[in-house]
Structure formats: structure tokens, C-alpha cells
Amino acid sequence: MPLYAGLEMGGTKTIVVLGEPGAIRERIEFATSTPEETLGRAASEVGRWHRDGRIAGLGVASFGPVRLARTAPDYGTILDTPKPGWRGTQVVGILRAGFPGPIALDTDVNAAAMAEHEMGAGRGCASLIYLTIGTGVGGGVLVRGDPMHGVMHPEIGHMRLRRAVGDRFEGACRYHGACVEGLISGSAIEARFGCVPAEVPWGDPRWHPIASDLAELLANLLLAFSPERIIVGGGVAMRQPQLLAAAIDQIPERLAGYLGATTRADLAHRIVAPALGNDAGPNGSLCLAKRASR
């Protein structure tokens, strides 16, 4: 059976894996630093496996925004990212120097959505959204198992929301201020609290507008895409499960019965945590690699 190499490149951490979807055999993790250092190390590991004749394809699940259209002259290039030093980085071009075989590229959230669809909380769903709330906020959309692409990929983290009543926080996004990412990402919550979110207990009232913002986002996603499932992962969501529960509590009032079956129980079945946990992204990169090798 062929093995595949996968690269999940997040804003904070990079993971390089060898294996098959659902069966990771080797894993290397390191900080996402400069493009040269990060991609150089990833290319070195992939090149080692390639020289051993062990891989049939490479899947790259990257933070964005990134150019995914293969016909574009800047295909595989990081675009206007807030991560310093990464704008204009030719991800695919650098990795191809160490691996001449088939390469598939998508966003980290689209890849995670693919993994959850194939072997996790999205099995059996014709449509789903994978939402990650961590250092930033991103969303991947799958329809019939395929990631949704347009001129670009969805940028759910930069949508604007109706704000919680009385919330005066200006937002932390360098581009849009009080967009989704500027309100509920880990860095935004840290700016709100003046400390890391883990230091603030759930009962603190400062969590209330964040739960309200998340509820507003989830209600908008239900209305815009009508997904069978929304899977909410990322460091903030995984470390503070009460946040998702509190947001779900508020959605029925926002929808006001418009979509039919939207009771608290209905929504708790439809909006869930990832079954694969932190392995959704790495497994998603292997799903991309498997597709690339066909």
C-alpha cells in the first residue's frame, strides 16, 4: 500500500506527517517561523521520505490566504497574510524542489473538513463546515466531499457580525478591526482580557460577548450554507468547551424558528466538536496527498 506525506502549516505550528488518512506513522512538529526555515525543514523531511521511495503524493494544508487556482500565475503563493514575512511565499514551488511527485494544496481548514468528512464527525454528511477558533479564525466548506473554491477560498474569519449589545471592544484584526477573527480569535480574546484566555474562568462575564459573537457567526453560517454539520475546532474552542455550548444556547432566538428544526437539541446534534481533535489537520493533509496521487 502506498504511503503519503502531509504538511499542515498553521500560523503557530507546522506538522509534517507520513502515513495514510487515519493512520499516521511518523510525525514531526516544529514552530512556524520564517518561510525559509519552516518550509526548508518540511522539504527536508519530505525529501528524505521520497528518497527512501516511501511516498506517492504530498498534501499541503496551509494557513491563508493562499492562491489555490492552478491556472493562476501565482498558484501556491501565500497572499495578504497578517503573519510577518510570509506574504508572497511560494509554498508549492519551495516544496517541489524536494519532491517532484504529485502535490495537492488547500487551506488548513478545508483539509481538516475533508478529514472529518471521511473519518470523523462529518461522516455521512453531504455538506459541512469546519470552523477553527485558535490564533486566528478560519472556515472550510465541503459540498459532497469537495472543498468549496471560488475566486479564492472562503474567508469566514473576516466576515462582519452584528455585535453584542453594549460591547465596545474595537477588535484586533489588523485589516478589519471587529470582524469575526478580530472578535473571537485567541489573539483577540487575549487583547480583550489583557491576559491569556486560559487565565480567565468561564464564569467571568467577559466571556458573554464572545459567546454572543460565536452564536451570531454560527447562525449566519446556518443561513448562508445550510450545512448538515458545523464542526468547531481550534485551540480556543477545544480548551473552552463551554463557549460552544453557550453559543448554541443563543442560536434558536436568533433564528426565530425560521429554519424549522432549530431547537437546542437539534443544534447540539448539528454543531459539534471535531471527532479527530487536533489530528484533523494532519489527517486532512494526507487526504489531500491521496487525492493528488490518483
CA 33 to chain centre: 19
Spatial contact of 17 and 54, defined as CB atoms under 8 Å apart: no
Q: Taking Cα atoms as reference points, which of 159, 158, 141 lies closest to residue 150?
A: 141
Tell me the pLDDT tens digit for each residue of 109-163.
999 999 999 999 999 999 999 999 998 999 999 999 999 998 889 999 999 999 9
Check: CB of residue 45 under 8 Å from CB of residue 71.
Answer: no
Per-residue pLDDT tens digits for 275-284: 999 999 999 9
Chain centre distance of CA 46 = 23
Report pLDDT for 262.
Answer: 85
pLDDT at 82: 83
With a CB cutoff of 8 Å and minimum separation 6, the contacts of 203 are none
pLDDT of residue 143: 95
**What pLDDT sits at residue 194?**
95
Contact between 273 and 238 under an 8 Å Cβ cutoff? The reply is yes
Rounded to whole angstroms, the Cα distance separating 187 from 216 reads 19
Residues 218 and 55: their CA atoms lie apart, in Å, by 39
Which residues of the chain register pLDDT less than 50?
A: none
* Domains along the chain with CATH numbers: 3-111+278-292 (3.30.420.40), 123-274 (3.30.420.40)
| pLDDT value at residue 151 | 84
Task: Round to whole Å and give the CA distance between 221 and 92.
Answer: 31
Entry pTM: 0.94
Residue-level pLDDT at 12: 87
The predicted pLDDT at position 201 comes to 93
